[in-house]
Amino acid sequence: MNKLITAFCIFAVLSCSLAEETPREKRQAEKLHITLLYESLCPDSRKFMHQLAPVHEELKDYIDIELVPFGKSSSEKNGAIFHCQHGPAECEGNRLQSCVISSSNDQAAQVKFVVCQMFAANYANADKCASQANIRTDVEYCMKTPTGTKLQLDAELITNQYRPSFVPTIVYNRVFNQQLQDQSLRNFRATVCYLLRQQIPLPATVCQ
């Protein structure tokens, strides 16, 4: 009988220990959240895409990226009018990218589309870029309906949380840090790797 009680007590202690470790292990498994605030016709945003593409390809298993095409734009009359830093064409590009991004939950596909579209000669290549990213979407319907308007209003809400003074703005784990912003523009990979090491245990082959 005593052995049975002892065994039960040991089991209870182990169960409690495992229960206590679970939240910590769960936190360790969390990905680094990255919010990218950018504009479709911004030269600096386009320049940053040269860093985004390879870093996401290498570290996509460890990062969760949120692409927000709005930047220093603004809206009037609940989205009836949008004003964009680089003119009406940029408003159209921001809306287009929001439409396509929302059509897929595959972040790798989203990044692939955005990088392709940012370097396209014109927006006529949207379907081609979406096809290359394996995203199926009715871009024209989204662009011409309240769906596209709502997506841009949502992008404005997210952007206004941070009120970026520079575009692109890179936000980690939903908290803006100017030093990390500056470092990200210079070396996005090094910054992401630094933050990942602080947040989760990485395999020896990652971020070498």
Separation of alpha carbons 84 and 67, rounded Å: 17
pLDDT at res. 110:
97
Residues 96 and 127 sit within 8 Å (Cβ to Cβ): no
pLDDT at res. 71:
96
Separation of alpha carbons 79 and 157, rounded Å: 12
Separation of alpha carbons 178 and 86, rounded Å: 24
Low-confidence ranges of the chain (pLDDT < 50): 1-25, 27-28
Q: Phi, psi at residue 75, to the nearest 5°?
A: -125, 160
Separation of alpha carbons 94 and 155, rounded Å: 9
Among 180, 157, 163, 57, smallest CA distance to 110 is for 57
Q: Tens digits of per-residue pLDDT, 29-51? A: 589 999 999 999 999 999 999 99
pTM confidence score = 0.84
Report how far apart, in Å, the C-alpha atoms of 55 and of each of 42, 65, 155 are: 20, 11, 23
